[in-house]
């Protein structure tokens, strides 16, 4: 009777609230697991465990404990599990397990899954979820095999294979956790590392709906509008920042300056691609020029794709904002792109998401500046990185006090569950019964 009553109570909860509780529960279990004596090489504080678990579940990658030296194999295995569950979504795994066991997946589970995958419809979610699992396992396996070609000769079979698996999972889920204190800086000029790792987090960050659409239709003409915008936007956000990064940092003695020109190109490509979603780095980001740092912060805010393992406001959100701006200056009443028209509700959602995101970033940055002393640019970079669940840092993460860590953990959590999810929780939906005459507000 108690079980049935609890199920009834849970089923009446809004799906966004259920997802928030599920992710919070996973973080709590991660904290307890990381505090086990056989999870770390030396005892860590509850604050260290909480920050690390939150960073892993939100697939951010910011770290206050050296992942390779501070955690045992068991601890690293726990982190891998937290990254995998947090990156792909807990409801995806729950629905997959239910379907594999032959148990019915009810309408309530469909609603939770729809929120977790950021979908507007609950149809074909099981098919999408199964496709996600196949894509994830395939690409993580391929990535581990390729990375093993680098790690096994250098670290031996046992350590090399585990390093390959860990970094493949971390890269595909856009987590940014690395087992080396300098991330991947020692392979700044290695072509295999600079191709495999970015391809993993690009594929993980492009979005599962895009992957499904490309797999089914295979031709540009038959792709959905979302897929076309996502592919075009991703290509531009990879090419242009790579060229800009190389131009601004080419002679900087703290970053690209000492490298040979092939390594400079590889480093420019890696940082431009990684900063938007993943959090790995092959050079010291603390030595970047201010202009380059600002560019990377903008890329982090833009983020990856919807239904992906990445964060940010999403590439398609940024594109719709640009299209709406262009339509306004051209005096167009509608937004038309690739032979399709975007609805007003989509534009309103984009505006709401962007405003909530910017408000949260500024509010969190204000809290950081209020309670933590430090360089403004470093704190701003860290705040944006936490919100976009990127994980890149200019080396100040370990300097945060308790209040600073709480602020960063909060914004990592919000960045993962989604600003609109929290907005839905706070909003009360009421049907307006009164219609007012139109008014005019002078803008600009």
d(CA 444, CA 438): 19
- DSSP letter string over 142-173? HHHHHHHHHHHHHH-HHHHHHHHHHHHHHHHT
Q: Coil, strand or helix: which one is 335?
A: strand
In a domain, 435, yes or no: no
Cβ-count burial of 190 within 10 angstroms (0-12 exposed, 13-18 middle, 19+ buried)?
middle
| Least confident range of 41-50, 86-95, 99-108 | 99-108
Distances (CA, A) of 371 to 65, 376, 382, 404, 415: 22, 13, 14, 7, 21
d(CA 391, CA 171): 12
Enter the tokens of residue 317. 């959100």
In a domain, 250, yes or no: yes
Distances (CA, A) of 255 to 37, 194, 263: 39, 16, 11
Q: What is the pLDDT of residue 353?
A: 83
Q: What is the pLDDT of residue 428?
A: 47
Confidence of residue 124 (pLDDT cuts 50, 70, 90): low
In a domain, 293, yes or no: yes
In a domain, 10, yes or no: no
Q: What is the pLDDT of residue 419?
A: 62
pLDDT in tens, 207-248: 777 877 887 788 888 898 889 999 999 999 999 999 999 999
In a domain, 59, yes or no: yes
249 in Cβ contact with 292 (< 8 Å): yes
pLDDT in tens, 29-65: 999 999 999 999 999 999 999 999 999 999 999 999 9
pLDDT in tens, 370-388: 888 778 999 999 999 999 9
pLDDT in tens, 345-378: 788 888 888 888 899 899 999 998 888 877 899 9
| Domain containing residue 333 | 15-425
Distances (CA, A) of 246 to 196, 382, 395, 420: 20, 22, 22, 36
The total domain count for the chain is 1
């Amino acid at each position: 009777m108690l079980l049935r009553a609890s199920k009834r109570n849970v089923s009446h909860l809004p799906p966004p609230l259920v997802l928030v509780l599920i992710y919070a529960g996973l973080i709590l279990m991660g904290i307890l697991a990381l505090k086990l004596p056989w999870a770390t090489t030396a005892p860590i504080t509850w604050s260290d465990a909480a920050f690390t678990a939150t960073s892993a579940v939100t697939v951010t990658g910011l770290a206050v404990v050296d992942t390779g030296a501070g955690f045992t194999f068991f601890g690293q295995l726990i982190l891998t599990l937290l990254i995998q569950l947090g990156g792909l979504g807990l409801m995806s795994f729950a629905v997959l397990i239910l379907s594999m066991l032959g148990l019915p997946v009810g309408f309530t589970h469909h609603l939770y899954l729809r929120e977790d995958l950021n979908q507007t419809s609950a149809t074909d979610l099981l098919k999408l979820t199964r496709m996600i699992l196949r894509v994830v396992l395939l690409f993580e396996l391929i990535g581990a095999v390729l990375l093993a070609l680098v790690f096994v000769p250098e670290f031996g079979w046992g350590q090399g294979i585990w390093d390959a698996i860990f970094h493949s999972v971390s890269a595909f889920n856009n987590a940014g956790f690395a087992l080396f204190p300098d991330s991947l800086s020692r392979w700044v000029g290695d072509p295999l590392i600079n191709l495999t790792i970015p391809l993993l987090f690009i594929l993980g960050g492009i979005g599962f709906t895009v992957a499904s659409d490309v797999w089914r239709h295979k031709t540009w003409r038959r792709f959905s509008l979302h897929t076309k915008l996502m592919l075009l936007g991703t290509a531009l956000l990879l090419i242009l920042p790579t060229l800009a990064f190389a131009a601004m940092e080419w002679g900087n003695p703290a970053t690209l300056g000492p490298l040979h020109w092939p390594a400079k190109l590889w480093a420019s490509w890696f940082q431009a691609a990684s900063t938007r979603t993943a959090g790995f780095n092959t050079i010291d980001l603390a030595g970047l020029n201010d202009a380059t740092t600002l560019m990377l912060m903008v890329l982090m805010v833009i983020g990856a794709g919807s239904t992906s393992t990445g964060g940010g406001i999403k590439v398609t959100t940024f594109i719709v904002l640009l299209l709406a701006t262009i339509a306004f200056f051209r005096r167009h009443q509608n937004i038309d792109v690739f032979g399709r028209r975007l609805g007003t509700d989509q534009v309103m959602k984009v505006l709401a998401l962007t405003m909530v995101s910017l408000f949260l970033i500024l509010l969190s940055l204000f809290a950081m500046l209020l309670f933590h002393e430090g360089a403004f640019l470093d704190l701003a970079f860290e705040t944006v990185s936490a919100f976009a669940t990127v994980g890149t840092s200019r080396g100040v993460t370990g300097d945060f006090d308790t209040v600073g860590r709480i602020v960063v953990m909060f914004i990592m959590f919000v960045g993962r569950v989604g600003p609109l999810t929290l907005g839905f929780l706070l909003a009360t939906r009421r049907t307006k019964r009164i219609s007012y005459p139109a008014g005019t507000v002078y803008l600009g």
